[in-house]
């Protein structure tokens, strides 16, 4: 469901006197092979309750053993987001009762998390497409409070017969990224989530797919009158599971809070849930039943000294999306816009770069990848990593266009044919499709025929109206029944007339 124009106008009008302040808490499942405190595998899709042991089942007396890889991943995430890592980090028990967490506490981090500070840059291309022309503050960065590491709980599935619990997910390393309440619109929240996701994927830390539950998000929403310094009453939206739903939910919730205040009502600190089908938020609980988690240090786990980990991970910080975009502009002389589109996806950037490295025409390659390659992939609902045409073969198709051997349209057809038969060579497909350039003598005679048939145009061209070359080229194309190459014809016309 999308917001109607009337909704958006009402939203803009209500906002005139109020400032929203939004803070996001994002949970991300890390890509480690094993769980946070035991050796069970984390792979998705196994039979329920087959990837379990006494530790991740929460049986009494089972002892946790730290997964060093998860700590390294979190420190790396912190480095990519410009956080600092305190020299010592520790583990705490967060106590609460929940059926999918039988030991009745979650191992988490309270006062000494792995990362503090830092920020998430909001790249222009991360905003919703329809909002990219009205970005309020281009280049804005949202400050982070902290990043800590904890364990995921089991997954409950409710049905009419009762509730089943699958412990395969229990104990999966979960990184929680907490932002400052510096986000001021639903569109910035959207950009924040996209940018964060892109950066985590660049670091190979998580697939961060919200639809698959690998990335989950709670949003703290408050509004305050323009003139007021201190934040308004904080209301939490729980368990959002898509980036576009976060945007819709925030449009609704911000308007709702402003309406309550305007009507003289009072907002109460509470937790709400978003119903995407109905398009409204509903109250779950108020502050009266807020948890007191009674955090205390976990006696089974030693604090972590981080110095060695920081040193090791410093060498593994990858190039970030905006750094890659800058380099593409510098090295390949493509436009900033093209560079930002190409670097928005790690696999797309890799495919472009490999093709550009094998080609003289870098700008053509950028154009081709953004327009033709993405179009064919979208049509077939494939990801860039699944593109069957190798960068070498794409580079050779583009080279044939550049040398005038085939036209751009013929190149597109060749690419599609190659897509379906990726083991074949572009040259053999071109022969089969009849895209071989016609005999040179034949083209020359067709060009001469057209020149002598249109003496008045030839005079005009010689008097300076060079655009007419294109018109004459079209005439020769007609005579050749579309078989001749327009670039070769144009060159020949120019040579003979000018």
Residue numbers of the site for Mn ion (CB under 5 A)? 176
User: What does 38 interact with, of Mn ion, Zn ion, none (CB < 5 to 8 A by kind)?
Assistant: Zn ion
CB of 65 to Zn ion, least distance (A): 10
Q: Tokens 């985590």 label which residue?
A: 200
CB of 171 to Zn ion, least distance (A): 6
User: What does 206 interact with, of Mn ion, Zn ion, none (CB < 5 to 8 A by kind)?
Assistant: none
Under 8 Å between Cβ of 345 and 378: no
Cβ closer to Mn ion: 72 or 176? 176
Q: How far, in Å, CA of 96 to CA of 105, rounded?
A: 6
Cβ closer to Zn ion: 1 or 46? 46
Cβ closer to Zn ion: 38 or 334? 38
The residues that bridge with 283 in the sheet, in sequence order, are 272
User: What does 176 interact with, of Mn ion, Zn ion, none (CB < 5 to 8 A by kind)?
Assistant: Mn ion
CB of 27 to Mn ion, least distance (A): 6
Residues that bind Zn ion in the complex, under the rule CB under 5 A: 38, 40, 53, 55-56
CB of 243 to Zn ion, least distance (A): 31
Cβ closer to Zn ion: 40 or 472? 40
Cβ closer to Mn ion: 95 or 316? 95
Cβ closer to Zn ion: 66 or 233? 66
User: What does 355 interact with, of Zn ion, Mn ion, none (CB < 5 to 8 A by kind)?
Assistant: none
Distance of CA 389 to the CA centre of its chain: 23
User: What does 40 interact with, of Mn ion, Zn ion, none (CB < 5 to 8 A by kind)?
Assistant: Zn ion
CB of 72 to Mn ion, least distance (A): 20
CB of 41 to Zn ion, least distance (A): 9
Judging by DSSP bridges, how do beta strands 215-225 and 173-179 pair with one another? unpaired
């Amino acid at each position: 469901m999308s917001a109607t124009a009337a909704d958006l106008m009402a939203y803009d009008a209500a906002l005139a006197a109020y400032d929203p302040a939004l803070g996001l808490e994002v949970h991300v499942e890390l890509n480690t092979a094993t769980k946070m405190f035991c050796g069970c595998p984390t792979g998705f899709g196994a039979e329920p309750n087959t990837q379990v042991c006494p530790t991740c089942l929460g049986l009494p007396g089972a002892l946790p053993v730290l997964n060093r890889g998860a700590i390294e991943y979190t420190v790396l995430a912190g480095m990519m987001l410009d956080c600092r890592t305190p020299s010592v980090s520790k583990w705490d028990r967060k106590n609460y009762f929940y059926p999918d967490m039988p030991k009745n506490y979650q191992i988490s981090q309270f006062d000494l998390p792995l990362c503090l500070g830092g920020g998430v840059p909001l790249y222009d291309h991360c905003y919703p497409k329809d909002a990219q022309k009205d970005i309020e503050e281009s280049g804005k960065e949202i400050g982070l409070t902290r990043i800590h590491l904890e364990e995921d709980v089991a997954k409950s599935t409710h049905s009419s017969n009762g509730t089943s619990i699958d412990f395969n997910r229990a104990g999966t390393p979960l990184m929680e990224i907490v932002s400052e309440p510096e986000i001021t619109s639903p569109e910035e929240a959207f950009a924040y989530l996209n940018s964060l996701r892109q950066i985590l994927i660049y670091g190979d830390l998580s697939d961060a797919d919200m639809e698959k539950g690998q990335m989950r998000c709670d949003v703290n929403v408050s509004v305050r009158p323009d003139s007021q310094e201190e934040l308004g009453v904080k209301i939490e939206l729980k368990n959002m599971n898509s980036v576009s739903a976060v945007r819709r939910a925030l449009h609704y919730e911000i308007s709702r809070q402003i309406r309550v205040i305007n009507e003289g009502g009072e907002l109460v600190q509470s937790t709400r849930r978003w119903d995407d089908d109905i398009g409204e938020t509903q109250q779950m609980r108020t502050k009266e039943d807020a948890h007191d988690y009674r955090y205390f240090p976990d006696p089974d786990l030693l604090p972590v000294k981080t110095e060695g980990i920081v040193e090791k991970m410093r060498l593994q910080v990858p190039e970030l999306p905006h750094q890659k975009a800058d380099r593409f502009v510098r090295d390949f002389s493509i436009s900033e816009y093209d560079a930002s589109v190409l670097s928005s996806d790690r696999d797309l950037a890799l495919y472009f770069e490999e093709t550009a490295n094998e080609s003289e025409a870098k700008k053509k390659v950028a154009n081709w990848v953004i327009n033709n390659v993405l179009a064919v992939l979208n049509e077939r609902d494939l990801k860039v990593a699944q593109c069957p045409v190798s960068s070498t073969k794409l580079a050779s198709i583009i080279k044939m266009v550049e040398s005038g051997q085939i036209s751009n349209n013929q190149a597109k057809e060749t690419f599609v044919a190659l897509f379906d038969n990726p083991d074949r060579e572009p040259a053999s497909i071109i022969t089969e499709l009849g895209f071989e350039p016609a005999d040179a003598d034949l083209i020359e005679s067709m060009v001469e025929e057209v020149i002598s048939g249109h003496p008045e145009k030839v005079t005009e061209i010689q008097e300076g109206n060079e655009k007419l070359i294109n018109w004459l080229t079209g005439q020769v194309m007609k005579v050749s029944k579309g078989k001749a190459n327009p670039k070769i014809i144009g060159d020949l016309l120019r040579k003979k007339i000018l």
